[in-house]
Structure 1
């Protein structure tokens, strides 16, 4: 009887450890880098427990650590798993040849992304070997919804209550040009809805511009987002996006593939 009780206690402890590890991973939803204190606060675990969980997850590549800031981010193992998740529409299979054509034709990095759990998630990323490869949005990775082309497009088309929920929390500052003022961001979201696209200049990485276009379903809801990124002089001319019509055509092609 004593051995059986010990086994049950051990099982409960193991389940608790798994639950805590999952809470650490979930704390990165919609975020990039986090400090130990931020992860601890988000999971409501003490810093000692949080640190041990982070180190364990780092050992298995589910978490990585920035060598400069010592902050944490989701690791390569998460991206590999996410890359193998099959959507009911298999968006990756539909979008990949379209992304390849974009990347090869224009010398950019092309992306397909979806909005899940209040986060913009990259499903696939393709770059042309002759052009610049944009690394800051890996497959399975997320970006703050106030930064980048696709994240802001997703946020712009969310219900008002979702938008206000996001704007009421802290808005992450990736660099000096990231928009962290809720009123300024509200105005930008209205502009995105009116024109149907976003050109994000320097707000994720200085010198890089992202152009994003939503893909709508038959009911007018955003299914996914097609975007591209490259050096700002390549992407913008006289304050206007160079490849907007080409990207809109790519979004139309993705929608046609979904509806086929």
Structure 2
């Protein structure tokens, strides 16, 4: 990991429940030496990527990120294009929907919406990166990444988030093949216990995969019929979103089986 990467990696430690981080906590979270972390924090603050509270001396995200975010959205209005689609998808299926874009070897959320129709809802953290092997969004996007990218992911240890996280490369490959066959991936309890999700890839110019569109449901409501209904709507909205992003959505996907239900169907189709 290079010096610049190490410095920028500090920014990824901020979260909704971690708005400010002190030097000591940065050292604890990264496992790096104090002098190096302090130098990186100072440089980030001097360039506006962080700012320091004068009283607590803790750091928070700085104004330079606001400028860059606004500039990015002005030049490449991804959130503006995707937000209406995500909102309409969530309204159509009655569950939380979200869109995310590839960032390195993970997905970065850019938009989400929840009609809040149920007492039990999925808690979605817009600041949390989504791993490619443990989420339906990630598997859906990974299925259309270059072969060398897939190989790189599958030759490394696959981090476990729950006892249902895919840690076997062969099972992940089966999931990828399912996405390439039907256009959607279903994951149950692999990233968040008690949450099932259905994801479909998003494409940009040159049929390049950009990210994914997904719906997340508490597993208590995620029966096979509901997952199939969500998948059918999701496929249409993923195509719509891809067109909005200047891409072409594949049209050679097979129709979903009547008994399609994600996890169960994988065993049926491969048997």
**Displacement, 1:82?**
8.6
Write the deviation string for residues 146-188 of structure 1: whole angstroms up to 9, x where unpaired: 1111111111211121112122223211100001122221222
Unaligned runs of 5+ in 1: 1-16, 29-34, 63-75
Question: Aligned Cα RMSD in Å?
Answer: 3.7
Unaligned runs of 5+ in 2: 15-25, 43-49, 51-56, 248-271
Equivalent residue number for residue 170 of structure 1: 157
Q: In the superposition, relative to structure 1, how do residues 150 and 240 fare at CA in structure 2: closer, same or farther (>3 Å)? A: same
Structure 2 residue corresponding to 1:39, chosen from 30, 37, 41: 30
1:104-143, aligned counterparts within 5 Å? 104-131=91-118, 132-136=120-124, 138-143=125-130
More divergent stretch after superposition (80-89 vs 176-185): 80-89
Q: Distance in 1 between matches of 2:65 and 2:184?
A: 27
**Displacement, 1:78?**
11
**Runs ≥4 residues deviating over 4 A:** 17-20, 35-38, 49-58, 76-85
**Displacement, 1:37?**
7.7
Tell whether the 8 Å contact from 2:196 to 2:216 is kept in structure 1 after alignment.
Answer: yes
TM-score, normalisation: structure 1? 0.69
Q: In the superposition, relative to structure 1, how do residues 160 and 257 fare at CA in structure 2: closer, same or farther (>3 Å)? A: closer
Q: In the superposition, relative to structure 1, how do residues 26 and 167 fare at CA in structure 2: closer, same or farther (>3 Å)? A: farther
Alignment length (residue pairs): 219
Q: In the superposition, relative to structure 1, how do residues 19 and 214 fare at CA in structure 2: closer, same or farther (>3 Å)? A: closer
Name the SS for the 2:245 alignment partner.
helix
Equivalent residue number for residue 87 of structure 2: 100
Q: In the superposition, relative to structure 1, how do residues 152 and 36 fare at CA in structure 2: closer, same or farther (>3 Å)? A: farther
**Displacement, 1:113?**
0.9
Q: Distance in 1 between matches of 2:7 and 2:156?
A: 24
Equivalent residue number for residue 8 of structure 2: 22
TM-score, normalisation: structure 2? 0.66
Q: Distance in 1 between matches of 2:146 and 2:104?
A: 14
